[in-house]
Structure 1
Amino acid sequence: MSRIIISLLFTAFTTFFGVAQNELIHAYPSKLGLDSIFISQKVDSIMQLGIKEQAFPGAQLLVAKNDTVIFHEAYGFHTYDSLQPVALNDLYDLASVTKVLGPLPALMKLVDEDKIKLDVPFSTYWKPWRNRKDKKDLTLREILSHQAGLIPYIVFLQKVIKNGELKNRFVRSTFNKRFEKRVNDQLYINRRFERKMNRIINRSKVSDEKKYVYSGLSFLIFPTLIEQLTQTDYQTYLHDTFYEPLGCHTLGYLPSLKHWVNSIVPTENDTLFRKTVVKGWVHDENASLMGGVSGNAGLFGTADDLAKMMLFYENYGAANGEQLISEETVKEFTKVQYPENENRRGLGFDKPLFNNAELPLEDAYPSPLASEASFGHSGFTGTFVWADPEKKLVFIFLSNRVYPTRDHRNLYDLNIRTALMDVFYKAQAIPHQN
């Protein structure tokens, strides 16, 4: 708990001198009426089980109640060699959590500014779809709620590998004007390959049956769309409009090209494409083939960064006395869109399972005690963010469950994240102990 004391002193000091409006406030769980001993014992037990069963080599958990961080602890190591312990300021590859922290706030802002509408054809803004019979009438609402009939995923890696070797016209080990986008420290991707990806997306099939099918395809093109609508570089727009005002100092793309002092947790030992341990470069192959900057994956961040973003959402677009996105828009994006089609999704955000409160813990997603107003997203690498504006709870879980390979699925099989979240809801109902 010494970290909490240090954080409290730092917050008090910097707030007094007027330089830390965006720093998180920390307090003991008991100060907010939660049972500290119950939380510590239950969380430690779940985390140790996860490490023992190789659900992940290490992880960290941050939980905020009433806009105050009541728990932030690290467990285990970066890898199974147990050499480098997980630290509270480590950077993680966020995988699909990128979707709700990258393109989504930008799209919400554009809806606010009436620069894009949810219920007109998306092809109004994305010209390549205007002449595609099966795509020209799809709306942004349908697309963001995974109701549009788009196919789930396209393996673009198949286009750059032949007989186990990288095609020289697409990927090279030397930098030049055509090969300027980075795959990692040793590989560069042809800058025209993104156009090829877009053409393949444009020609991809669309199902006639409109039902919930999770698809990340549109998120590959959102950054370019956002640049067109804002007339600003995508990364610059996110930094200036959201990350900087919210104090997310290490939330961003391509951390290996930045001068952050934070350690970066490795994700996977890639034996197929990059043929090395992926660390500091995006794990997702499609995002990698776009040079690491995409709407479906590519963001790296710390637990603090993610907490600030999710607290911003939990407070319906308000932060530091400023309304960055209107409350109306945030509420629209975070509500279920097509319940009549058994689609639980919001706009970009995931939502609890229908009848979640009635399910046993092992079948629920997330905790059965989470409110219907809650929302969040998970990431393939083992990341998870959730906000509950009704019960004022923010939950951040970070791990590299795909290390050393993505075959490690015990994070799901053991239901680690749901069990951890459930601890904090139950701790609110127990008489607290100091």
Structure 2
Amino acid sequence: MLKLQHTLFTLFFFANVFVNAQDYYSLRNNIDSIVYDAINAKAFPGCVVYASKGDSVFFLKSYGFHTYDSSRRVAVNDIYDLASVTKVVGGTLAMMKLYEDGHYNLDDPIGNYIDKIGRRVGEVTFREALAHQGGLYPWIPYHLESRKKNGEFRSKTVSNSLDKDYNFPLTDSLYLHNDFYSKVKKMIRKSEVKKEKQYRYSGLFFYLIPELVESLTDTSYQDYLQIHFYDPLGTETLTFNPLDKFEMEQIVPTEIDTFFRMTPIHGKVHDEGAIMMRGISGNAGLFSNASDLGKVFQMLTNDGLNDTLQLLSPQTIQLFTTAQYPNNENRRGLGFDKPLLRYDSLTSSVAKDVSFRSFGHTGYTGTLAWADPENDLVFIFLSNRVYPTRLQRALYELNVRPTIHQLLYDYFKVNLNENEDPVVKAK
């Protein structure tokens, strides 16, 4: 079945895009070699690689297995935990739409819009928070708040029994209190905020975005994203809490948790903060297959246009994907990651040849989504590098993602003339 899928995809590709077939197969073989070497090095048990040029997907292939026991092969439509890629296809998309509709100004303090967040956190502006320039604390292990020093659960946190107050299953034997979010806000309010305005990557503001969306629009964060982006784009798998819609077998597992949930994480968000938000946050929590994630980034490279629908204005996209504080050694846009200010092959997650207009984000589970509007190129890499443990760092050590990404740029350098339309549709 998988061979048939790949054959059909190859026929579709060559029917719609004019390329040099020999060079294309060389590209595919080179990517195959990198991925299989990484799998053999236990960088991840399997992955999906996706790339589009213009409106055409020219590379989509699955590799390996869901886990190292080789019991289930990865398919191109399998669903992965996106981790912090959620920040840009969840939290940031919502903030872009809210901004465009005039609900807030970027230089307003977030405390003007979010109650009970405290003076220090509240003085940080939206621009600073989204660009990681506000001095907010990097992260808080919210799950640790659930236990006392003796190991027992605190009241109104987690219980071993399901009831009306503890109604969200973290696992088959752990249930979250229905008002744990108030504790999340309290921990954010009490967290350290640096006085110096300098780059400090933080996910704390992104936990507040669902509340912000609901307070400004009277629409839940999840529904807001669905209405304004996911439904118009025709995505089917881009969702929070995927077990509500999909079978376990289509979802790729992440870590075998040995410190909090004490069980294999499969079908529930890997991020401990997001699971304490009932699986729905602006920081992490989204799941998707590669094609649906690609639709979001193709829309962004197409100046917000999806077919005849203008989902975002080109001006909003340009603003949010532009570095806000480059003079302060901060490469970040608003929510979006950007290329390093000075390229370093050892620390870059993307190709050396990406343009400075390019943008995207990485995810802790081993994911990457990156768009380059200058070259009309979208690259998606989905893996579960945290299986069976987050201590496995071969994905980074082998430079898997930037190496594959660079192969795509090298391929188009050879196959495109400067005055040639990069994607020529068959007549």
TM normalised by structure 1 equals 0.90
User: What corresponds to 1:19 in structure 2?
Assistant: none
Q: Percent same amino acid among aligned pairs?
A: 44
Matched, 1:103 2:91: yes
C-alpha deviation, 1:52, in angstroms? 0.8
User: What corresponds to 2:306 in structure 1?
Assistant: 319
Match of 2:36 among 29, 34, 48: 48
Question: CA–CA distance in 2 between the matches of 1:187 and 1:374?
Answer: 42
Letter in structure 2 aligned against 1:95: A
C-alpha deviation, 1:27, in angstroms? 4.7
C-alpha deviation, 1:316, in angstroms? 2.1
User: What corresponds to 1:6 in structure 2?
Assistant: 8
Task: Work out whether residues 256 and 389 of structure 2, in 8 Å CA contact, stay in contact via their aligned partners in 1.
Answer: yes
Match of 1:36 among 7, 19, 24: 24
Question: CA–CA distance in 2 between the matches of 1:133 and 1:45?
Answer: 53
Q: Matched residue of 1:425: which SS? A: helix
Question: CA–CA distance in 2 between the matches of 1:233 and 1:429?
Answer: 45
C-alpha deviation, 1:3, in angstroms? 3.0
Letter in structure 2 aligned against 1:229: L
C-alpha deviation, 1:161, in angstroms? 2.9
Question: CA–CA distance in 2 between the matches of 1:316 and 1:418?
Answer: 25
Question: CA–CA distance in 2 between the matches of 1:177 and 1:425?
Answer: 54
Letter in structure 1 aligned against 2:197: K
Matched, 1:353 2:355: no
C-alpha deviation, 1:324, in angstroms? 0.9
Question: CA–CA distance in 1 between the matches of 2:133 and 2:72?
Answer: 43
Question: CA–CA distance in 1 between the matches of 2:150 and 2:272?
Answer: 15
Question: CA–CA distance in 2 between the matches of 1:403 and 1:162?
Answer: 29
Task: Pick which of 181-190 and 61-70 moved more.
Answer: 181-190
Match of 1:379 among 363, 367, 370: 363
Matched, 1:151 2:153: no
Matched, 1:85 2:73: yes
Letter in structure 2 aligned against 1:156: Y
Task: Work out whether residues 60 and 397 of structure 1, in 8 Å CA contact, stay in contact via their aligned partners in 2.
Answer: yes
Change (3 A) 1:171 1:89: same
Matched, 1:427 2:411: yes
C-alpha deviation, 1:262, in angstroms? 6.3
C-alpha deviation, 1:165, in angstroms? 4.1
What is the 5 A alignment of 1:3-402? 3=5, 6=8, 26-27=13-14, 31-32=18-19, 35-129=23-117, 132-162=118-148, 165=151, 167=153, 169=155, 170-259=157-246, 263-356=250-343, 359=344, 361-362=345-346, 364-402=348-386
Question: CA–CA distance in 1 between the matches of 2:402 and 2:329?
Answer: 21
Letter in structure 2 aligned against 1:78: H
Change (3 A) 1:55 1:5: closer
Task: Work out whether residues 250 and 260 of structure 1, in 8 Å CA contact, stay in contact via their aligned partners in 2.
Answer: no
Question: CA–CA distance in 1 between the matches of 2:349 and 2:390?
Answer: 22
Task: Work out whether residues 28 and 36 of structure 1, in 8 Å CA contact, stay in contact via their aligned partners in 2.
Answer: no
Question: CA–CA distance in 2 between the matches of 1:28 and 1:145?
Answer: 42
Number of aligned residues: 412
Q: Matched residue of 1:398: which SS? A: strand
**1:288-316 deviations in Å (ceiling 9; x for gaps):** 11211111111111001100011111112
Task: Work out whether residues 27 and 69 of structure 1, in 8 Å CA contact, stay in contact via their aligned partners in 2.
Answer: no
C-alpha deviation, 1:261, in angstroms? 7.9
Change (3 A) 1:164 1:123: same
Task: Work out whether residues 4 and 27 of structure 1, in 8 Å CA contact, stay in contact via their aligned partners in 2.
Answer: no
Q: Matched residue of 1:429: which SS? A: helix
C-alpha deviation, 1:348, in angstroms? 0.3
- Cα RMSD for the two superposed structures: 2.1
Q: Matched residue of 1:386: which SS? A: strand
User: What corresponds to 2:423 in structure 1?
Assistant: none
C-alpha deviation, 1:331, in angstroms? 0.5
Letter in structure 2 aligned against 1:92: Y
**1:383-404 deviations in Å (ceiling 9; x for gaps):** 1100000001000000000000
Task: Work out whether residues 255 and 264 of structure 2, in 8 Å CA contact, stay in contact via their aligned partners in 1.
Answer: yes
Letter in structure 1 aligned against 2:198: K
Q: Matched residue of 2:413: which SS? A: coil
Task: Work out whether residues 32 and 65 of structure 1, in 8 Å CA contact, stay in contact via their aligned partners in 2.
Answer: no
C-alpha deviation, 1:250, in angstroms? 1.2
**1:250-285 deviations in Å (ceiling 9; x for gaps):** 111111122458611010000111111100001111
Task: Work out whether residues 181 and 291 of structure 1, in 8 Å CA contact, stay in contact via their aligned partners in 2.
Answer: yes
Structure 1: give runs of 5+ residues left out of the alignment.
10-24
Letter in structure 2 aligned against 1:100: V
**1:71-113 deviations in Å (ceiling 9; x for gaps):** 0001111111111111111111111011111121111011001
Question: CA–CA distance in 2 between the matches of 1:171 and 1:26?
Answer: 50
Change (3 A) 1:275 1:136: closer
Question: CA–CA distance in 2 between the matches of 1:342 and 1:325?
Answer: 29
Question: CA–CA distance in 2 between the matches of 1:166 and 1:392?
Answer: 54
Task: Work out whether residues 382 and 411 of structure 1, in 8 Å CA contact, stay in contact via their aligned partners in 2.
Answer: yes
User: What corresponds to 1:403 in structure 2?
Assistant: 387
Question: CA–CA distance in 1 between the matches of 2:140 and 2:365?
Answer: 18
Question: CA–CA distance in 2 between the matches of 1:431 and 1:304?
Answer: 24
User: What corresponds to 2:419 in structure 1?
Assistant: none
User: What corresponds to 2:422 in structure 1?
Assistant: none
C-alpha deviation, 1:175, in angstroms? 2.3
